Structure 1
């Protein structure tokens, strides 16, 4: 972790590039978050990497550093209700579009983590598989999307503590699946995801559990 980052600073050096990434796509509960980040020339932090390769404390350190030093950044979220309405792939694209909409500085190019994207009007994009482990701007976006979403899920955990969202952040862990079986769904679950479909679990009480 202390070695100098091998992340690339840009895809091309002929204009501002915004890295874009999402967090929470595979979760059973909570919004999907996305971030867009434009980094200045020479941006460097020794910890910067794909958010999944970092500890929570490292991500928080990077979040503060990115917010202080980025040329521009924005974060957006799409609700579980909207995810159920348009599907998670389209919701992930929408969250990235919303984050790009909110950038105070307009980039000339978008670097998208992954292999698919819905084109953003007026700005060309490049899709990069494992881009969050390749380009600094995408890694920075992955950090912001992840930390903002984790903070959101911690707030929800205080209201629904029996689902363990402080630990699983809404992902389909065995403990989270058991809680759904035993307690039913909350208004924050994604009801079109298979483990959340009422016909696929047998709990007698399928009403929304009360907030604690």
Structure 2
């Protein structure tokens, strides 16, 4: 799949080609659903976010100005839908993550080893994935979405900033704090078991 293909489908869909819009949905629905599932924490809410996302895409396709990638635009819509639902639910967040950016918003924290990411790469460890997904649910939504977009979905810092309409410095700060929290929690969990996250048995 290429962005050129997406743009061709978008233009056809704008002209009333229903098949083109269906192809756009088929191309992006799996990634949008997985994003929604990680943010919402359950399949029912994720399905609703997915449906509302493509409803918004259909209604606003004429407003897509092609200055950004279509995938970035649809990520922004899905993220906004998920965050709106989370904030309406007013779920209590028990995690407080200390700010590591300066008053001017510039990045102040040193780069850390991507400890949580190494755990994610241990895809054969089902227990690890379940633990990590549970820990993600503990993060405040603003931090969870940054970690999900950057370290799970693989967007660049600049792309995450564009999706969330925040600065790259803010992305780095939230990502750093999220990784620190997850690293600490994973270390505590696995330290009690005498092993490190991502480690495999001999």
TM range, normalised to the smaller chain? Answer: under 0.3
- Choose between structure 1 and 2: higher helix proportion: 2
- Choose between structure 1 and 2: higher strand proportion: 1
Could you tell me the TM-score, scaled by structure 2's length? 0.28
Q: Which has the higher contact order (CA 8 A, sep 6+)?
A: 1
